[in-house]
Amino acid sequence: MRLACCQTDILWENKSANHAKVRSMVSAANLPKDTLLLLPELFAVGFSMNISEIDDTRSRQTQRFLSELAKEFSIYVCGGVAMSCEGKGRNECAIYNPAGEEISRYCKMQPFTLAGEARHYAAGPDVSTYAWKDFTVAPFICYDLRFPELFRVAARRGAQLITVIANWTNRRDNHWITLLRARAIENQAYVAGVNRIGSDPSFGYSGNSMIIDPHGEIIVEAGGKEGIISAEINVEAVNNWRRDFPALNDIRSEFFA
Residue 254 pLDDT greater than 70, yes or no: yes
Could you give the percent of the chain with pLDDT greater than 90? 96
pLDDT at 50: 97
Q: Which residues contact 79 (CB under 8 A, 6 or more apart)?
A: 38, 39, 43, 44, 62, 66, 93, 94, 165
Angle at 118 between CA 116 and CA 121, to 5 degrees: 110
The rounded mean pLDDT for the chain is 97
pLDDT at 86: 85
pLDDT tens digit sequence for 159-214: 999 999 999 999 999 999 999 999 999 999 999 999 999 999 999 999 999 999 99
User: Domains of the chain (ranges plus CATH)?
Assistant: 2-256 (3.60.110.10)
pLDDT at 62: 98
Cα dihedral 87→89→93→96 (10° resolution): 50
pLDDT tens digit sequence for 13-59: 999 999 999 999 999 999 999 999 999 999 999 999 999 999 999 99
pLDDT category, 87, cuts 50, 70, 90?
confident
pLDDT at 257: 60
Could you give the percent of the chain with pLDDT greater than 70? 100
